Amino acid sequence: MKKKFITNLALLIFLNLLIKPFWFFGIEVAVQNRVGEEMYGFYFSLFNFSFILNILLDMGITNFNNRSIARNHEKLREYLSSIIPLKCILSVFYAVIVFSSALIIGYSSLQIKMLTILVVNQFLASFILYLRSNISGLQYYRTDSLLSVLDRTLMIIFIGILLWGNITDKPFRIEWFVYAQTCSYIITLLTTLSIVLYRSGKISLNLKTDQFLKILKSSFPFALLILLMAFFNRIDSVMLERLLIDGKKQAGIYAQSYRILDAATQFAFLFATLLLPMFSRMLKVNDKVNDLIRIALPILMAAAFSLAIVGNFYREEIIALLYHHHEIISYRIFGVLMTGFVFISLSYIFGTLLTANGNLRQLNILAFITVILNIGLNLLLIPRFKGLGAAIASLSSQGFYAISQIILSYRIIKIPFNTDILLRLLIFVLVNAGIGFALVNLIDNWITGMLILIATCGISAFGMRLIKVKEMMDVLKEH
């Protein structure tokens, strides 16, 4: 299992480093600059609103299915025949709730129009993730890795043509960005569906209510957890837009930094997509999960701390480089959010472990407390500090959630404390923070200073044996 993790993680990282940076720095930033803070804030708030209720599309089925298929491959055809029609029914339920909520909140006709497209996109994205959960559950990690970047690759092509292809004299519109996503999702959905059906063979759709209820009952704890996590991860921009007079603008300012965090989070999410089926399989056969944790944890945390350190020391320069229009407060928001990435990364390791072990009740209680904490802090801080208040609320919530998950993991699953990794990470942070402080004060050219800091983070990760090349090579040679 360690060999599978290393080889497939390498492929995932390679593909995502090939596609995702260009998607973010080339496409998303260009779109934000073209349409402006207020118009992008308009889209970003609506996107997060549709995303928060996204769980109604899935009801935890994807995570439940991934864990179940990983434990028993023979369940594929049975679950496919029931879950495909069930997800179609859930999509109608999701749309009704979203539009009803939008009308209650008081969204305008223009907002409803944009929300309609976003609802379609959420359905397509949710269906793609469900289909991919079958592929990774069957242990076809390479196929899943390729599919994970297909939609972004298509979006780069479509939106790139609209931005730089000189096919129209009209200014770029945020609606074009959303429509391009729709087309990319449709192509990806059809591709993924054909692969899954090839693996499963012919299926007959099962429309029996009792089977639907059985699946929903099994997946409900997953659904509740995802809903609660969506609230404390996405409610900030919605509250900014609703609580402040200049809410759209403030949501747009916040989005500048949040989108960078979101791009970084996609890297951490790669670990979770690999670890969930692997942890599930290992726990079922009583294999030692700590061996896998000792490989995954130092790699991910070295990357997370590196991004947080670089992001804080060069926050002003990074924001100024990426965005034509920005506020002074943007720098501070960015620094706080990038610090929060450390806790998000921890959650992707230990939260995934607890999920694989079936500790959904404990995770849901913990997530509910985190939601209350997050909403309370947002209500307290946003009116006074605006976007910075939302960032502080996010950091505090993520920190509480991650640390609590670590404590639960050690108490429930009884994994060793891994003190050696903790000490190496502490030294890694202190050394590179000291180097970063020196570089900022001694080197005038910020790009040179930042590149040196990135290099020292990488070198020290290998030098302090957070990333053990020899051990990885030995694992690859075992079979």
pLDDT bracket for residue 435 (50, 70, 90):
very high
**Mean pLDDT across the stretch 333-339?**
94
First to last CA, the chain: 11
Name every residue whose Cβ is closer than 8 Å to that of residue 210 and which is 6 or more positions away in sequence: none
CB atoms within 10 A of CB 129: 20
Given the structure tokens 């780069």, which residue do they identify?
156
pLDDT(214) > 60: yes
Concatenated DSSP letters of 109-126: HHHHHHHHHHHHHHHHHH
Phi, psi of 474 (to 5 degrees): -65, -40
Output the six-digit token pair for 134. 């079958």
Rounded distance between C-alpha atoms, residue 169 and residue 60, angstroms: 44
Given the structure tokens 């509480």, which residue do they identify?
400
More confident residue, 54 or 421: 421
Longest Cα–Cα distance in the chain:
70
Q: Structural domain boundaries of the chain?
A: 2-416, 418-479
pLDDT of residue 402: 95
Given the structure tokens 């890297």, which residue do they identify?
267
List alpha helices for 36-108, DSSP H: 37-52, 55-58, 61-71, 76-105
More confident residue, 296 or 52: 296
Strands (E), 178-296: none
* Tens of pLDDT, residues 140-180: 778 888 888 888 899 999 988 988 887 877 888 888 889 99
More confident residue, 438 or 24: 438
Name every residue whose Cβ is closer than 8 Å to that of residue 463 and which is 6 or more positions away in sequence: none
pTM over 0.85: no
- 8 A C-beta contact, residue 426 and residue 261: no
Output the six-digit token pair for 65. 């299915």
Output the six-digit token pair for 123. 């359905």
- 8 A C-beta contact, residue 1 and residue 292: yes
pLDDT(103) > 70: yes
pLDDT bracket for residue 272 (50, 70, 90):
confident
Rounded distance between C-alpha atoms, residue 351 and residue 344, angstroms: 10
pLDDT bracket for residue 188 (50, 70, 90):
very high
Long-range contacts of 216-221 (CB under 8 A, 24+ apart): 216/59, 216/86, 218/64, 218/68, 219/59, 219/60, 219/61, 219/63, 219/64, 219/65, 220/59, 220/60, 221/60, 221/360, 221/361, 221/364
* Mean of the per-residue pLDDT values of the chain: 85
Rounded distance between C-alpha atoms, residue 315 and residue 338, angstroms: 9
Residue type, 150: L
Sign for the CA dihedral angle at 349, 344, 261, 165 comes to positive
pLDDT bracket for residue 2 (50, 70, 90):
low
pLDDT bracket for residue 83 (50, 70, 90):
confident
Q: DSSP 3-state assignment of 310?
A: helix
Sort 142 into a burial class: Cβ within 10 Å, 0-12 / 13-18 / 19+.
middle
**Mean pLDDT across the stretch 112-120?**
92
pLDDT(341) > 60: yes
Given the structure tokens 């998303």, which residue do they identify?
28
pLDDT bracket for residue 439 (50, 70, 90):
very high
**Mean pLDDT across the stretch 176-199?**
91
pLDDT(428) > 90: yes
pLDDT of residue 71: 75
CB burial of 57-72 (b: ≥16 within 10 Å; e: otherwise) equals bbbbbbbbbbbbbbbe
Name every residue whose Cβ is closer than 8 Å to that of residue 262 and which is 6 or more positions away in sequence: none
More confident residue, 428 or 222: 428
Rounded distance between C-alpha atoms, residue 308 and residue 453, angstroms: 12
- 8 A C-beta contact, residue 143 and residue 135: yes
pLDDT bracket for residue 5 (50, 70, 90):
low
pLDDT of residue 479: 41
pLDDT of residue 469: 63
* Tens of pLDDT, residues 345-390: 999 999 999 988 889 899 999 999 999 999 999 999 999 898 899 9
pLDDT bracket for residue 332 (50, 70, 90):
very high
